Amino acid sequence: MKIITLIGTRPEAIKMVPIIKDINHTNIENVVVSSGQHEELLSDVFKLYDIIPKYKLNTLKNCKSLNEIISFILINFEKILDIEKPDLVLVHGDTTTAMAGALASFNKKIKIAHIEAGLRSFNLESPFPEEMNRIFIDSIAYLHFAPTVTAKNNLIKQGIKPHNIFVVGNTIIDLVKFNLKQDIKLKLPDIDEKRLILLTTHRRENLGKNMKSIFSAVNILLEKYDNICIVFPMHPNPLIKKIADETLKKNKRLIITKPFNTIEFNKLEQLADIVMTDSGGIQEECVFIGKPTIVLRTETERSDGLKSNNLFLAGVNTNDIVKTFDSIATDNFSNLKKYKSSKIYGDGRSSERIIKIIQKSLN
Ligand code: UDP
């Protein structure tokens, strides 16, 4: 039995790590292919977890637009499919890599397994183009691994046959559990006993005026609360640095860093008092860790996370973000203990379940 695991970006790699590791202990041959859609962040994850892709496509170097990425992957991934002739291709989530890889496989009549199937924001423009990618991949996949019952119900509404849908939890929880057990020395920025606020923002639909509005909220919060320190590991997209340079006011309690590795980042999430993010994966991690998290987006496909009471959908308007922060930081941050870990996204055994189902299905 041979499968191909196709990965293009940091979050896909992070969420595929548990499967790639566990599958090594089975009779399945797994060929890892990197599309290199996020070259730098992706290779950091591969290094951290000792993963060596057999094939690397230089997508980022060769393509700029989404359509270039799709056509580049279609053509080059097809060549790999012709050489390897896998029984199944594993794609994750909602990236352009996953979408193009699934389409290339479909056209060659190769079965597709979709991990993290069924997430929906019900708005094709947010997240863009991810919402379309998910719907598209789900419409051609053979095995659908849904993280939650909500995701399963979304798939059923799309017309996917229930017997091809498996609710398995999210593999990110497998990795967070592993990461939090690692004994590492976290080189934490010097925050001098202040409240630690962890910030990330990178979404394509936020690049531009939304990100300016998020950064204006950061400026206001730093002025309003002299007992907070905001740590902002900045995504390497140069557009983000440009907007940050234009908007963020210099403040010694605003610490802009390079991205942390994922073990460090999960530990930082655990240490933080409040997280502010427009990331998808970070929402899931913080729900599991039990951290109040301000979601810097107008809608989230992580609707289950909202039920855990750890996520606050603030939107991207400056005042709304500040108000949401105020509502969490009440009584000088004395209410933070009420946020508890939730298993809504799984118990850390998703990868084990996924591999068993794949084995059964390929047999
Ligand atoms: N992450 C990381 N280092 C950082 C910031 C984030 O390892 O400095 C990890 C984080 O733990 C999560 C993932 O990156 O697992 C989220 O990726 P991202 O926000 O890029 O994408 P999304 O989840 O929105 O698709």
Average pLDDT across each block of 10 residues of the chain; the chain has 363 residues. List them in order: 96 97 96 92 95 95 94 98 98 98 98 98 93 98 98 98 98 98 87 93 95 98 97 96 98 95 97 97 97 96 93 98 98 95 96 98 91
pLDDT of residue 363: 87
pLDDT of residue 341: 96
Does residue 130 carry a catalytic annotation?
yes
pLDDT of residue 215: 98
Does residue 38 carry a catalytic annotation?
no
pLDDT of residue 28: 96
Ligand 1 atom at minimum distance from 258 CA: 8
Ligand 1 atom at minimum distance from 277 CA: 19
Q: Ligand 1 centre and the CA of 280: distance in Å? A: 8
Q: In angstroms, rounded to a whole number, what is the distance separating the alpha carbons of residues 166 and 145? A: 5
| Best probe residue, ligand 1, of 38, 172, 173, 200 (max atoms within 8 Å of C-beta) | 200
Q: Which whole-number Å values give the CA distances from 199 to 146, 275, 317, in the listed order?
A: 28, 6, 16
Could you give the count of Cα atoms lying within 13 Å of 345 in the half-sphere of its Cβ? 32
Classify residue 252 by its DSSP letter.
T
Q: Which of these is catalytic: 94, 284, 285, 320? A: 94
Cβ atoms of 259 and 44 closer than 8 Å: yes
Which residues on neighbouring strands pair with residue 56, listed in sequence order? 34
Name the token pair of 192: 């001098």
Three-class DSSP category at 245: helix
Q: In angstroms, rounded to a whole number, what is the distance separating the alpha carbons of residues 7 and 319? A: 38
Does residue 94 carry a catalytic annotation?
yes
The closest of 191, 320, 209 to 254, measured between CA atoms, is: 191
Q: In angstroms, rounded to a whole number, what is the distance separating the alpha carbons of residues 277 and 309? A: 16
Q: Which amino acid is at 45?
A: V
Ligand 1 atom at minimum distance from 95 CA: 25
Beta strands in the chain (DSSP E): 2-7, 29-34, 55-56, 88-92, 111-115, 143-146, 165-167, 195-200, 228-233, 254-257, 274-277, 293-295, 311-313
Three-class DSSP category at 101: helix
Q: Ligand 1 centre and the CA of 85: distance in Å? A: 32
Q: Which amino acid is at 262?
A: T
CATH of 195-338, picked from 3.40.50.2000, 3.40.50.1820, 1.10.760.10, 3.30.980.10, is 3.40.50.2000
Q: Ligand 1 centre and the CA of 360: distance in Å? A: 32
Q: Which whole-number Å values give the CA distances from 244 to 188, 212, 317, 328, in the listed order?
A: 22, 8, 16, 25
Q: Ligand 1 centre and the CA of 11: distance in Å? A: 6
Residue nearest to atom 11 of ligand 1 (CA): 262
Sheet holding 195-200, edge to edge: 254-257, 228-233, 195-200, 274-277, 293-295, 311-313
pLDDT of residue 61: 87
Cβ atoms of 212 and 205 closer than 8 Å: no
Q: Which of these is catalytic: 12, 116, 131, 174? A: 116
Residue nearest to atom 24 of ligand 1 (CA): 279
Ligand 1 atom at minimum distance from 282 CA: 12
Q: Residues with Cβ within 6 A of ligand 1? A: 10-11, 14, 200, 202, 233, 259-260, 262, 265-266, 279-282, 285
- CATH 3.40.50.2000 in the chain: give the residue spans: 2-169+348-362, 195-338
Does residue 29 carry a catalytic annotation?
no
| Best probe residue, ligand 1, of 15, 262, 270, 283 (max atoms within 8 Å of C-beta) | 262
Q: Looking at domain 2-169+348-362, does it have CATH number 3.40.50.2000? A: yes
The closest of 6, 89, 110, 99 to 55, measured between CA atoms, is: 6
